[in-house]
Chains A and B, each alone.
Chain A
Amino acid sequence: MSEPIGIRPSVSDATRRALETVGDHLIPEAHGMPAAGSMDVGTTQLDAVLASRPDLAPHLERAMADANLDDIGGFVTTLESEDPEAYGAVTLAIVAGYYMHPEVHRLIGYQGQVPKDAQRLSEAEIFQEGLMDLAQKVIERGPIYRPTPTTEGAI
């Protein structure tokens, strides 16, 4: 690919701190779930995100360069309207860092995209109980394709 996975672009400490602060605003601790800042969205998780998406780094730096973190809600609203690309990078970096964290995976009951045992979708999985009975009822309702000058037998 054009941007090799594994290269970690530099993001300033100030941007990292700002990202954690904004992250805590967007995804706060609530309803049994931790806040984004406590899930390393400005540190190790950000490194993981940027390793895969180095293109986000300049947008994050630009977004956070003039961030007024005394009014985070106002900052986020303004960023969304005035620099949607930077807003997209900030929300993606926070969300991705959060939902790629193993602790968050544990809390939401997600184990990744787990392949089923290779090779073998069982007969019971393919022909689930009731499938063929339901399909038979569709057949019994008759053809639904529209006849054309060369098509016989349709309704």
Chain B
Amino acid sequence: MATKKDQADVLIVGAGASGGIAARYLAEAGLSVVCLEQGRWHDRSEFRGTSPDWEITGRKQWFPNPTIRDLPQDYPLNEDESDIAPLMFNAVGGSLILYAGVWPRMLPSDFKVRTLDGVADDWPLTYEELQPYYERTEADIGVSGLEGDPAYPPGAGPPLPPLPLGPGAMNIARAHDRLGWHWWPEPNAILSRPYQGRNPCVQSGTCQQGCNEGAKATTDQTHWPIAIEHGAKLITGARVRRIVTENGLATGAEWIDENGQEHFQPADVVVMAANSIGTARILLNSATPECPDGLANSSGLVGRRLMMHPFASVTGLFDGDLESWQGQFGCSIESFEFYETDESRGFVRGAKWGLAPTGGPINMALPARAGESEWGPNHHLLFRERFGRGQSWGLFGEDLPNEDNRVELDDDLTDSSGIPAPKIIYKVAENSRKLLDFHIEKASESMIEAGAHKVETDSLMRYSGWHLLGTARMGDDPETSVVDRWGRSHDISNLYVVDGSVFVTSSGTNPTSTIAALAMRTAEHMAQDRFNQEVAV
């Protein structure tokens, strides 16, 4: 039985990127913070990057899809009606534990697609409004990159120099120079220099199996220690069943511990930070007779407009030895050459390209991206052709919002605590298909100009749903949005959302930097506005 002394100023659901950032800034502002996280802390020694089995554990225990990974702290997903499988990780640090660390900002036009291109919706804020938060989060986590990218308006650049491009990326940069195409060193949330007590990158190429060095920014390192130092309480192994409301205001959350024991955490304000699937799931699971379609859902948009960035890859194979199993993974360079709308192409919006290494020997024999396996005597020839000799453009196409792409509650599937699990319904749109086909063609030209003797493509990678966005979009109109420009629910004035759910459109960029900037902005606004905050009595 919770008592008054258990009452938190703020309850945060989820300890990943947005939850960690919100916790730090709220706790530093003097608010009492409790966070419920269904995963646990991970020590860096658990990561398999220094072990010979890193590639095979990366396909199971450390695979980013929870259905395949099937850990006790995961919840299952019904993905049968989804063209793309969602990816995530449940832990302190959240999906950052396994992300690539690529950290580009959105571009100015991304916030104005209705005005500029007549599609989707404008955001209720601008690039300029978010720019100071981009700059501050980049300093918080230690972004490596190069100032001056003409794809962005002027402003402060990353605090650290770029990570090495290596011979493969330098070769492609020269090719883009000949073509007159944009390229730039990729900003990565991976340290190129020692920074705030953390070790820099050692280029071992295992970022997506967990960084053994701690060079890749994850909030368990960068934000939670500071939040806890300022009094934040982080409860792991805590699975939230529903947000509880009374008289139209949130009063806290019901949660279940690892032993199946039920608890209630009371709070003045509730902040959802469980990613765009987890947040929608909990809000839908929190339906009451007064809110039969789920909490904060008078617009009917909770769970809808799910965006996941259809992803294609184009891999060039070169004659020279590039040691392309090493390096940041992470990206080396990016290109925004074909990012903006050109209606003559037959579609709107575009894609950002990020150049990555191609992986270790097992991944070259059984490619997870572009390329097929070859058996028999020619296996050795194909392996020799690929191993250490590839560079791969990853193409993130902007995913326009569609209300039919959605998160629902599955009728039958539950997690191990008996809580209804999400069902994902997602189809790749015709605009996205045309967009990816165009970009595959252009990225192939890039590889050929760089001297690739062979180009392998993957036109739609199923296990690529890293970027979970849009299921509780922000906006000024309560009839067409779930939260306002500060992430506050239009319906429940002491309920906030700080994760990627609030995205109005997806952009064509990796979204974590924008999630982080928005989380910082929302947390600071909450702290500044605390004395005006309505709470349940």
Chain A interface residues toward B at CB < 8 A: 1-3, 5, 25-28, 30-33, 48-49, 51-53, 55, 76, 91-92, 95-96, 98-100, 104-105, 108-110, 112-121, 125-128, 130-131, 134-135, 137-139, 141-154
23 pairs from A and B in contact (CB 8 Å cutoff): A1-B61, A2-B72, A27-B379, A53-B60, A100-B52, A108-B387, A113-B360, A116-B202, A116-B203, A117-B202, A119-B200, A121-B200, A128-B164, A128-B170, A130-B174, A134-B177, A138-B182, A141-B150, A142-B150, A144-B150, A146-B108, A151-B128, A154-B108
Contact (Cβ within 8 A) A151 B153? yes
Contact (Cβ within 8 A) B165 A128? yes
Rounded to whole angstroms, the CA-CA distance of A147 and B478 in the bound complex is 29
The reply to whether the CB of B70 lies closer than 8 angstroms to some CB of chain A is yes
Contact (Cβ within 8 A) B380 A143? no
Closest to B170 in A: A128
Rounded to whole angstroms, the CA-CA distance of A119 and B381 in the bound complex is 37
- Report A-chain residues with C-beta under 8 Å of the C-beta of B199: 118-119
- Report B-chain residues with C-beta under 8 Å of the C-beta of A98: 365
- Report A-chain residues with C-beta under 8 Å of the C-beta of B383: 108
Minimum distance in angstroms from A25 CB to a CB of chain B? 7
Which chain B residues (54-81) contact chain A, with CB distance < 8 Å?
Answer: 54-57, 59-62, 70-72
* A-B complex: 10 closest residue pairs judged by Cβ atoms: A115-B202, A30-B377, A52-B53, A99-B361, A146-B109, A113-B204, A1-B61, A31-B380, A151-B108, A26-B375
Contact (Cβ within 8 A) A130 B380? no
Contact (Cβ within 8 A) B150 A145? yes
With A31-B381, A151-B153 in contact, is A115–B127 under 8 Å at CB?
no
Which chain B residues (180-212) contact chain A, with CB distance < 8 Å?
Answer: 180, 182-185, 192-194, 199-206
The reply to whether the CB of B480 lies closer than 8 angstroms to some CB of chain A is no
Within 8 Å by CB of A1, from B71, B192, B384, lies B71
Contact (Cβ within 8 A) B56 A52? yes
Contact (Cβ within 8 A) A119 B194? yes
Contact (Cβ within 8 A) A110 B361? yes
Minimum distance in angstroms from B178 CB to a CB of chain A? 11
- Report A-chain residues with C-beta under 8 Å of the C-beta of B45: none
Minimum distance in angstroms from B293 CB to a CB of chain A? 35
Rounded to whole angstroms, the CA-CA distance of A58 and B373 in the bound complex is 23
The reply to whether the CB of B326 lies closer than 8 angstroms to some CB of chain A is yes
- Report the interface size for chain B: residues with CB under 8 A from the other chain: 81
The reply to whether the CB of B119 lies closer than 8 angstroms to some CB of chain A is no
Contact (Cβ within 8 A) B53 A149? no
Rounded to whole angstroms, the CA-CA distance of A143 and B154 in the bound complex is 10
With A2-B72, A52-B56, A145-B150 in contact, is A113–B108 under 8 Å at CB?
no
Within 8 Å by CB of B126, from A108, A127, A150, lies A150
- Report B-chain residues with C-beta under 8 Å of the C-beta of A33: 380
The reply to whether the CB of B116 lies closer than 8 angstroms to some CB of chain A is yes
List 13 additional A-B contacts (Cβ < 8 Å) besides A52-B51, A135-B148: A2-B61, A30-B380, A53-B56, A92-B59, A95-B366, A99-B360, A104-B361, A113-B205, A118-B202, A121-B164, A128-B170, A134-B174, A137-B177
Minimum distance in angstroms from A54 CB to a CB of chain B? 9
The reply to whether the CB of B156 lies closer than 8 angstroms to some CB of chain A is no
- Report B-chain residues with C-beta under 8 Å of the C-beta of A130: 170, 174
Residue interface mask B83-123, A partner, CB < 8 A = 1: 00000000000000000000000011101100110000000
- Report A-chain residues with C-beta under 8 Å of the C-beta of B107: 145-146
Rounded to whole angstroms, the CA-CA distance of A110 and B52 in the bound complex is 11
Within 8 Å by CB of A31, from B49, B325, B326, B377, lies B377
Minimum distance in angstroms from B167 CB to a CB of chain A? 8
Contact (Cβ within 8 A) A148 B127? yes
